[in-house]
Amino acid sequence: MSFFRNAVWFMKGLKEYTKGGYASASKDFKASDLDVDVSGRSYMITGANSGIGKCAAVAIAKKGGTVHMVCRDPKRGEEARQAVKEESQNQDVQLHILDMSKPRDVARFAQNFISSGKPLNVLINNAGCMVNTRTVNSEDGLERNFSTNTLGVHMLTTALIPLLSKQEKSRVVTVTSGGMLVQKLNGSDLQFEKMNPFDGTMAYAQNKRQQVVMTEQYAKKYPDIHFSCMHPGWADTPAVQNSMPDFYEKMKTRLRTPEEGADTVVWLAVSDSVPSLDSGLFYQDRQSVSKHLPLAWTKSTADEETTFMQKLDNIAQQFLVESPDS
């Protein structure tokens, strides 16, 4: 079955995820959807120092939005902030330093941001990683892909729900991946202890399937906020170059630009038409698309999804901090 899934997915990718797929899909885009002024609205973007996150930051800043760039590396983050300010001619671009793989830091960051009194209209969960050797964080015992891509996203999103709920038409956009189509939700091995041999690409795809399920569950639990997730296609970003060098070498002439990869992120974050769409959907090139390949048997049951979310909550509870400055 995995061979079938992978083969069908790759053929789909060649048609839809490349720059040719974007060129075809973009013929149906409405230019007016992005012809908006978002002055007075506040956007938080994780992993905003390069690739899709940085492109989204530039696009939103150009439209007048206040941009909170959340980055792991102070030097690269500040360089990116200056570049975003210069390109957008928007001075209201702020930098926050956070490693999404460290759950205590995520909890502390969210509490401090709320305590700062700053508003938040849109959260864009873009930061992610694909670690190809199973790596466990020494300070908390968590596998790195899971702690960054799944737990970190869950903790940041749920912690900021009270702040987002104060704003009308608030949104959460999660950058996931079409790679999740080859995976069925596996809530019994969150740390990939049973994956032998360990496969970073499949671990990443599982995390991305988890993000899709999380988005669905958030939409049900928090109806006043619009949740969506999206696949940027195969884009030429530093993350792809570094984490998937073989794939990059074979496909680099067919990859989308980072701006093309970020297009649907920006559309979901700023377009006036988005709040009228159903919450919890999976998007590709400004269209909601299926979360499963035909005959791939990747659908999970309601009980499996509920159990998965309960496990996430239980793990997250261990790392909550008592006060903003603790």
Phi/psi for 34 (5° steps) reads -105, 5
121 lies in some domain: yes
51 lies in some domain: yes
322 lies in some domain: no
pLDDT of amino acid 322: 59
Could you say which residues of the chain have pLDDT below 70? 1, 321-326
pLDDT tens-digit map of 34-87: 999 999 999 999 999 999 999 999 999 999 999 999 999 999 999 999 999 999
* Statement: the pTM of the whole predicted model exceeds 0.85: yes
- Which structural domain, as residue segments, surrounds residue 11? 2-317
45 lies in some domain: yes
323 lies in some domain: no
* Beta strands 281-284 and 171-175, pairing class: unpaired
42 lies in some domain: yes
Question: CATH number, domain at 254?
Answer: 3.40.50.720
Specify whether 204 is catalytic.
Answer: yes
pLDDT of amino acid 326: 44
The number of folded domains in the chain is 1
286 lies in some domain: yes
pLDDT of amino acid 296: 86
Residue in the block written with tokens 């864009």: 124
324 lies in some domain: no
Marked catalytic residue, from 204, 218, 222, 283: 204
